[in-house]
Every structure is written in C-alpha cells, then in structure tokens.
Amino acid sequence: MARNRALETRINDPSLPGEARLEALRGLAADLPPPPARAGESNNHVHTIYSFSPYSPTMAALRCFDAGLEVAGSVDHDSIAAAPEMRAACGILGIGAVTGCELRVSFKGGPHADRKINNPDSPGIAYMTIQALPTGSAPLIEAFLEPIRARRRWRTAAMSQAASALLEAEGLQGIDFTRDVVAHSKAEEGGGITERHLLAAVARKLVEHFGAGAGLVDGLRRTLRIEPPEHLAALIADPRNQSLLYDLLGLLKSGFLERIYIQPDEAECPPAAEAVSLALSAGAIPAYAYLGDVGESPTGDKKAEKFEDDFLNELFDELVDIGFPAVTYMPPRNTASQLERVRALCGRRGLMEISGVDINQPRQSFSCPELRRPEFRHLADATWALVANEAVASVDPKAALFSAESPLAKLAPSERVAAYAAAGRDLDQRQRGSAAKILEALMKGKYTR
C-alpha cells in the first residue's frame, strides 16, 4: 500500500511543533506493518534537526523502523531537545528508544592533552556521548548543556565573519549569521548550532552564485581552491542532485573549515571527568566515542588521518581513570582488526560496548547488517540494556545501570548489562507504563543469572 505523502511531509516538517509531527505519524501508523522481528540491528547514534540532519526526531524513528531496526537512538550535538519526540515516535512504532546527546570534552591536563584523539579539528578535545537519559534528569543535563551551546554559538558567529570575508574577497555574497545560520537551526528550541550549520550557509552561497551543475565545480576550484575528489565532483556537477547541500558540506568540512576554524575553550568543552560525573549522577550512561585511524571517510567529511590507534592502550587506561563506564563505536566504519582490538580492550577493563552509526546526511543507510553477525551479538544486548536503563531509571533514578545504589551494583558490569538487556527486551515499547513492572522484576532478580 502506498503511503500518505502528505503525512510523511508533515512528519519531517521542521517548521511544525513536535506534537504535530507525532500526530502525523499516528495517522500513518495504521498502515504500517508490525515492528520487525528482532534480528539484532539497531542504531543509537542518529542526529536530528536539533543539531544538523535532514530528519526530524519523528522521521528519524520512522526511517529506523523502515530499515528494520529494533531500536532507534537520538544524539544531537550539545542538545537533548529531540528526546521527548524521539521516545514518543518510537513508542508509536513499537520499537525501543534510546535518547541523549553528543558533546566534546577536554582531556587537557592529562597524558594526551596535545594529541589528536578522536576530533579532527582539535588536539586534546574528544567526542563523547551521554545516552539512555532518564526523563527526570533532563533538566540537570539541559542546565549543563545550555552554556555550552551559548559559547559554541558565539564562536560560530566569529567563524561566520571569517568565512564571510573569504567569500566576499572572491566576489561572492557574504554570510549574515542570524539570517543564514541561526535561522536554519533549531537554536531557539534548545537545539545546537554547529560548524555544519555554518558550512551549509557557505554551500548555499556557492549554489546561489554559481548555480547547480558543472559551473559549481569550476567555481569551487577558482574561488576557494578546492579540488573535489572525482566521485564528489560528479555528484556536485549533477543538476538533479537532491543531496547537493550535504555533498558540498562534506567537501567544505574537509577542504575549507580549517581556514576559518577557531579552537574551542573549556567553557565549550568541559573537562571529561566533569561530564562523566554529571552523566552518571543523572542516571545516564557516558561513553567515549572511538573513531580510530581513518582511511576513506564514508561521508566525505574526514580526510585520511591518524587518530587514537597509536596510543589506544594508554588512552583506555585514562578512560578508566576518568570514570567512563562505556565506549561507543561504529562497526561499519572500522576495520576488523580495529574492532577486535577495541573489543579486547573493553573486555579487559570492564567497559560496556555500545554501537551506533553517525547518521547526519541523506545518503547514509540506517541499516547496520554488521550487528547481525555473531561476534556483535553483545552489541544488541548492550542496546537493549540502554533501553532498559532509560525506562526504569525514569521510574526510579536509583535503578540506573551504573548507579551505586542499585541492588544490582555488586554484579560485574557484564552481568549487569545482561540483566538490563533481558529487562529491556521485555518492555512493552508502546506502553511506557510497563517500565514500573519491569523495574520491580529487575530489582527482585528476575533477570539475573
């Protein structure tokens, strides 16, 4: 049966309030098939319009459902604004939900302060996630993120001035930060403003000046001295390209951003230990985001470059010292040897392993067939443990997976994850009220071996 296109359009309309998008999904849900049989696929790392993405939280959940995923998870940069809508959308669809955010933290003062860790732009600054956020802890996390967003907005405005000067020097129209950047974000609704918003503004100015087609590629070469790789040049030269903005953005991120980049400070990137402690106190799960040395970037936004692989053993020791209980990584982006090494290091240090594929542009697939492989079965368990954590800790914060006050706190981390995974699979995703019954069973030891 063909879908109602008017409803799908409303589901992904960023100008509508979240409840209107959810109501459109309710209208569409009657014609959808049942949730997929559980095969192990999920994605805990989907960006939405509350950072930079073509997807509203409701549409992100629907795309995950369409891809046959059991669980969908939102992580926006410096923002948890997507969380209520994402949870509600997953409930309508009958799939698990994991919500949280992604942020950058400082490793300054530690042994890797001057090294490029997992951030292409800044030594000593690393990406991490805060996931499985209990609903009652949202105000605590939001109070922590709001000044981070404000500082990042200030810095992005300064970079916009630099970008504008470069464009104007080449005879192009400059950038007005409020009109060309802020207006294309969800900043006024608690969303983040990132370098991608700025680069999208630059991309729009290029298209406005050169038009879509072969002239755009020539213009990139003449004005910004950017030579696109052959496959990207072909895409950018195609006037029918529906993803042109995102293709240009990826190219600008790897070939233009460094010309205008201003390094963030600790007002924008707080100490890692502070963020980890806050996340744990909120009943959420903080995770270091492993990147690994990059060959060819799947999204075209990263150059071939070395990151943390050369000092991974020492870095994992620092993660434990800081208090990280988990590491998140992306199976499709890493080699088999990289994944095997990370798994072994997590195992030796008792770190939870979390999967997720960074979705922020329309060419990316939501499916993750790698998770169906036997060696990644533990990642499916971890995802369901996240689902359980978010649900039961929303009922009782002391029930969080890594809470010292939990009756399960004396279990080994792997045993706790297994128990919460079993509990997560028993949750009725369409009935949030089922969490109280699952919590009672979990605390009474039903899911422990």
Q: Got the DSSP string for 309-368?
A: GGGHHHHHHHHHHHT--EEEE-GGGS-HHHHHHHHHHHHHHT-EEEE---B-STTS-S--
Q: What is the pLDDT of residues 158-198, one digit of tens each?
A: 999 999 999 999 999 999 999 999 999 999 999 999 999 99
Greater pLDDT, 30 or 172:
172
State the residue for tokens 């692989």.
Answer: 309
Residue 229 gets the label, from left (phi > 0), alpha (psi -120 to 50) or beta, of beta
Closest CA to 119 of 324, 290, 323, 287: 290
Tell me if 35 is assigned to some domain: no
Beta bridge partners of 288: 128, 327
- Confidence tier at 304 by pLDDT (50, 70, 90): confident
The residue out of 259, 293, 313 marking a domain boundary is 259
Residue 301 has pLDDT above 70, yes or no: no
Structure tokens at 183: 């207006």
Q: What is the pLDDT of residue 37?
A: 78
Domain membership flag for residue 219: yes
DSSP 129-180: EEES--GGGHHHHHHHHHHHHHHHHHHHHHHHHHHHHHHHHTT-----IIII
**Which residue carries 């970037």 as its tokens?**
297
Identity (one letter) of the amino acid at 50? Y
Q: Which domain holds residue 396?
A: 377-449
Q: If you average pLDDT over every residue of the chain, what do you get?
A: 94
pLDDT digits 0-9 by tens, 409-431: 999 999 999 999 999 999 998 87
Cα 383 to Cα 354: distance, rounded to the nearest angstrom? 7
- Bridge-partner residues for 100, per DSSP? 75, 131
Q: How many domains does the chain have?
A: 2
79 found inside a domain: no
CA distance 355 to 380: 8
- Here the tokens at position 88 are 């509600």
> What is the model's pLDDT at position 33?
86
State the CB neighbour count (10 A cutoff) for residue 109. 11
Residue 130 located in a structural domain:
no
Instruction: Establish if 173 belongs to a structural domain.
Output: yes
What percentage of the chain reaches a pLDDT higher than 90? Answer: 86
pLDDT confidence of residue 302: 52
CA distance 143 to 132: 17
What pLDDT score was predicted for residue 303?
Answer: 64
Residue 10 to residue 22: CA distance in whole angstroms: 9
pLDDT, position 1:
58
Residue 367: CA atoms inside 13 Å, Cβ hemisphere, count?
A: 8
Res 278 pLDDT > 90: yes
> Among 259, 288, 316, where does a domain finish?
259
Per-residue model confidence as pLDDT tens digits over 219-257:
999 999 999 999 999 999 999 999 999 999 999 998 999
Per the DSSP assignment, residues forming a β-bridge with 327 are 288, 353
Instruction: Give residue 299's pLDDT.
Output: 45
Domain edge (last residue) among 209, 240, 259 = 259
Choice among 5-19, 409-423, 432-446 with the minimum mean pLDDT: 432-446
The encoded tokens of residue 311 equal: 């000092």
Average pLDDT of span 137-152 = 98
Domain contains 236: yes
Alpha-carbon span 291 to 307, nearest angstrom:
7
Taking only the tens place, the pLDDT of each residue in 390-407 is: 999 999 999 999 999 988
Hey, what are 67's tokens? Answer: 């891809």
CB-based contacts of 337: which residues, under 8 Å, 6+ apart? none
Residue type, 418: A
8-state DSSP, 125: E
In a domain, 45, yes or no: no
Question: Tens of pLDDT along 79-123?
Answer: 999 999 999 999 999 999 999 999 999 999 899 999 999 999 999
Tokens of 303: 């150059």
